[in-house]
Amino acid sequence: MRIDILTVVPDLLESPFNHSILQRAKDKGLVEINIHNIRDYSTKKHKNVDDYQYGGGAGMVLSIEPIAACIDSLMSQRKYDEVIYVTPDGEILNQGLCNQLALKGNIIILCGHYKGVDERVRELYITKEISIGTYVLSGGELAAAVLVDSVVRLLPGVLNDETSALTDSFQDNLLSPPVYTRPPEFRGMKVPDVLLSGDFNKINAYREEQAIQRTKERRPDLLDDFLNME
């Protein structure tokens, strides 16, 4: 998979992609992540990439010219499956959407900033708009990092245990059950006996029961979707 990210503050994305699972994915050649500074495509003397919005109002808007120049340059070199704009008014990111994006080959992600981007960018280029939650960040860079992490970890070969991602929360519209590790007892608190039994049928039944119970208590909105899948 190749991911190209367009931003006006590339330094914000240095750390998230250079550590842990994402770094290993890059080292294995499973994903290529490229950060593009939109300012490099500005033709203005001081590399400005924003301007006042028509009609007045507070806040600046990212101009269309440098964004278009960057996207056009990338598209002249290869075909892209999606051009994504991370924005508060986009489709809410969920596990199902992550699963879909993990099947793609080449993706562009545009990070908004200030009051957003010229609407014509969205009309001309954007194929999917994604939000990571009903709140506003200072820019789209952190949202892009969340999106990339949630997708890349699903690529075959990225995680050491291929089945790990399949048992994450939300994969089956349930939250994950509680998990334990050694020691078997800590300050009088014991690991449930069933997990120490070695009976994997009972263990799986216990985990499903706990997952349903936890979802019912914490995210009852997800439970209807799970029941409809059965």
Return the structure tokens found at 49.
Answer: 């990439």
Helix, strand or coil, per DSSP, at residue 191: coil
Tens-place pLDDT, residues 176-221: 899 999 999 999 999 999 999 999 999 999 999 999 999 999 999 8
Tens-place pLDDT, residues 32-56: 999 999 999 999 999 999 999 999 9
The H or E element that residue 31 is part of is: none
**Cα 222 to Cα 179: distance, rounded to the nearest angstrom:** 20
Nearest to 37 by CA among 3, 12, 6: 6
Largest interatomic CA distance in the chain = 70
Confidence of residue 229 (pLDDT cuts 50, 70, 90): low
Residue type, 229: M
Please tell me the predicted confidence (pLDDT) of residue 172.
Answer: 76
Predicted confidence (pLDDT) at residue 169 exceeds the cutoff of 60: no
Predicted confidence (pLDDT) at residue 164 exceeds the cutoff of 80: no
Can you list the domains of the chain with their CATH numbers?
2-152 (3.40.1280.10), 169-229 (1.10.1270.20)
Confidence of residue 173 (pLDDT cuts 50, 70, 90): confident
Matching residue, tokens 């400005």:
48
Tens-place pLDDT, residues 73-115: 999 999 999 999 999 999 999 999 999 999 999 999 999 988 9
CA contacts within 13 A on the Cβ side of 97: 16
Tens-place pLDDT, residues 55-77: 999 999 999 999 999 999 999 99
